[in-house]
Chains A and B, each alone.
Chain A
């Protein structure tokens, strides 16, 4: 009940936000909120630390950029293509990594993501250091021109709500129940007759697809796919966003992403501009030391205690 109300208020705020704040900033925020939520699906609910999610975010960014710019497909189709390619990449990486646990899983995903990164450096179509520039935004269903930031914003908001809903539903589904059980006690889940690798693989593919959706949308917003999207910094940043907001909570990663993006924006124009990584690092340390459950996780714990 209260959660529903909170979501309604948040949605209403998002509807009016572009009249108060710069739409491009808001769109960036939404893309990263979706990215972090997708990442949380595999870390928070699957219990697997992937250190290669930039491959899915960046991979989709490039595929969508190429599809829109070179093949000239409609915008929606370009985004879907990007997300699906990220899902396929997730399947390939997942098949190799999913049997490993802990640090080994993290290392394999990192290594694979680095290979994807170097592929984009060397491939012809990706424009090397320059990235893919001047990707056309196109229109929504051929009806609404997305060149205007305001209409683009509502398009992105729609994608965000859809992606967020898919992730929330996955968590609260029969599949999500099994996934939580596996995260809590893998041998026990196995002894109840579940082939845990298959469940983890599906979660990984879903997470990759949604991360891809975020990356694809980001390309359309900025009309640019660049190496930054696929760099391992990106994989690290999404871990930070998720932990800060609250691992394994539905809304946490989105809030964590919002906080980080807002901070980056504010600091970038101030006297601390060259110190952004240091400030973020400090926040990360404070978060891990003082409120390990993240912002949303701590609030939930408080509410539970007071009832």
Chain B
């Protein structure tokens, strides 16, 4: 089963909303240990594909396979437990908890004590070292006790990545990880993604072509819900149809 070089595959993935087809028979293949980008002009269906893959939307047609296993009708929490973890377009953190608690919530699931309301929260302290390690990895070790609501946007994003890493995902799905960031934060997050990609597969939706060109091994270009082309950055950027798609949008 794992002989396949692809960790995630879709076949004929389709999603229609009341007569409008947002995603139209997409066959997407994500290779293991690659950073794969999904790009395309606005309204190309990137986020819809993303939500289908993470099970926040149900496809009208088609099959999604993770490691050869059909996950088309799995629930979001189920695929999360299988090792597919997503990020969100807006920073997905728990604002009224500290940074360390944020990471720890992701770590504690594996302890299997999360329904135990009679135990002290101190039983989670054995996860603190691992949590601090992860915070250190994303450069947040100074903020482990800070209330997340008070942290800057870039740091929240970094924290989100640390939390995602805590679940040791096989496949990370990042939804526009650099959206709304200044150049400095973009560089920071780009570096971070490169760092955490070791031994993992990452599929990301990204607008910033600079980030895509430096980071991604394979790029899939979507247009009007269908795949326009696929390849590495040089191939894709040389494709006249891609230029047209983007220029057409600018005009």
Contact = CB atoms under 8 A, between A and B. Distances in A.
Interface string B81-109: 10001101000111111000110111011
A173 B108 contact: no
B77 interface: yes
B116 interface: yes
A192 B85 contact: yes
Contact of A178 (B80, B86, B105): B105
B77 A178 contact: no
Contacts of A199: 114-115
Contact of B124 (A177, A185, A195): A177
A202 B117 contact: yes
Contacts of A178: 105, 108, 114
Contacts, number: 102
A190 B88 CA distance: 12
Q: Which of B97, B124, B167 has the most CB of A within 10 A?
A: B97
B159 to A, nearest CB: 11
B118 A169 contact: yes
B120 interface: yes
Nearest to B54: A191
B118 A194 contact: no
Interface string A181-194: 10111011111111
Overall SS of chain A's interface: helix
B117 A170 contact: yes
A90 interface: no
A188 B87 CA distance: 8
Contacts of A177: 97, 101, 104-105, 108, 114, 121, 124
Contacts of B102: 181
A142 to B, nearest CB: 28
A250 B87 CA distance: 32
B73 interface: no
B219 to A, nearest CB: 24
Contacts of B96: 180, 183-184
B80 A174 contact: no
Contacts of A100: none
A172 interface: yes
B125 to A, nearest CB: 11
Interface of A: 166, 169-170, 172-178, 180-181, 183-185, 187-196, 198-199, 202, 206
